[in-house]
Amino acid sequence: MNRQRIGEELPAQSTEENRFEVLENGNQYFPSVFAAIAAARHEVIIETFILFDDRVGKELHAALVAAARRGVAVDLTVDGFGSPDLSDAFIAGLADNGVRLHIYAPSRRLFGMRTDWYRRLHRKIVAIDGQFAYIGGINFCEEQLTEFGEKALQDYAARIEGPLARDICDFARGQVQGFTKTRRWWSMAWRPRRRTGPPASVNRAILVIRDNNHHRDDIERHYRAAVLAARHEIVIACAYFFPGFRLLRALRDAARRGVAVRLILQGNPDMPQVKQWATMLYPYLLEAGVQIYEYCLRPLHAKVAVVDSEWSTIGSSNLDPLSLALNLEANIIVQNRDLNRQIRVRLEPLLREHCRLVDSSAIPRNTFWQIFSNFVTFHGTRHFPRWAGWLPGGMAPKVQSIGSGNSGGAPKLAGVTHTR
């Protein structure tokens, strides 16, 4: 298999050789992941935005320690902003038993204030033995379990076996190897983009990443290409929806040409501003015939979409400025009827039983001040990534590695409120 440079979009693989299983919430995801770790023989690589020292985190901790003790190479990468409360004992328990822990952009403060609340490692990837991989939006915390209650997150991930899983494993391994390379302070802002090939064609599956070097808008471009090519139906379930104008216009134009466009967004948000921002876009979409459903049972954390009967995507990327222009993200883009069907089977009950259809007549007409405020908010937010790199914490983040001879000890990560 041809090895790509770190950050390269991987070549498309035939979906006839891949097997997919959609997992809903931590209730299905965690048992599958922990069983795969228990069966691992050579290698376990995990990237996650959130890891908490709760029941789920402790179970992952035990599974990784057990794997490392039997000789499996184990690398765990967490985000320093998303995983702020890992205790010294939790970290030492991993490092002392052979688990290599990598902390992306460890917590830091300027005059007592957090400065690194953007450019996060937001990917959720599990790669095992070069044979199995998991990708989606599910973090390692109790909030992903339905028994957590009314604040439990509704979410999805995919288990993959086959050539695409091997590509994901190669990518994850390359990221770990890249942590030891020197990074120049301007690398996040000044490297030219490298355009990748066309979207996945029929019976193709690819890993698509978003980084701040060569792949700054790859995920968004694949979304737009799928929407522009849609003939019958588009269904997007997205936790944080505030995309750029070109994707908004593509959705509106698709609805106007007769495509059934359905958006499943948050109706019971984990953060109030999330719904406020999305609501700003409602009139523009509704007047074109886009149907907007608000999921009201619990906070929605999904990042999935299907187009027509074959195209689908699942991964960590929301459709908002943080995911589309700042964070490190990873999605799979797949042309496969079975995966498309599996995602639909998961989404249809949400639409029927737990969503309310937004009525365009119930949306009040905006005043002049609201129109002006929305304009400033939308364009200010969308253009923020262009100059965010010059703010404190906006340059290339560092990675702190602990374990297997790495010095530095177990850091104390200060607590902070975070987005997911």
- Find tokens 């929407």 and name the residue: 227
| CA distance linking residue 258 with residue 1, whole number of Å | 42
| CA distance linking residue 137 with residue 133, whole number of Å | 14
Q: Are 262 and 237 in contact (CB under 8 A)?
A: no
| CA distance linking residue 90 with residue 77, whole number of Å | 14
| CA distance linking residue 264 with residue 356, whole number of Å | 9
| CA distance linking residue 155 with residue 304, whole number of Å | 9
Position 269: which residue type?
P
- Find tokens 């003939």 and name the residue: 231
Q: Are 73 and 42 in contact (CB under 8 A)?
A: yes
DSSP annotation of 121: B
Strands 303-307 and 233-238: antiparallel
| CA distance linking residue 284 with residue 115, whole number of Å | 34
Strands 399-402 and 233-238: unpaired
Mapped onto helix, strand or coil, the DSSP state of residue 51 is: strand
Q: Are 331 and 219 in contact (CB under 8 A)?
A: yes
Q: Are 212 and 201 in contact (CB under 8 A)?
A: no
- Give bridge partners of residue 74 from the DSSP assignment: 44
Q: Are 120 and 49 in contact (CB under 8 A)?
A: yes
- Give bridge partners of residue 206 from the DSSP assignment: 333
Sign of the torsion formed by the C-alpha atoms of 31, 34, 40 and 43? positive
Helix and strand counts by DSSP (H, E) for the chain: 11, 19
Catalytic residues: 122, 124, 129, 301, 303, 308
Position 362: which residue type?
A
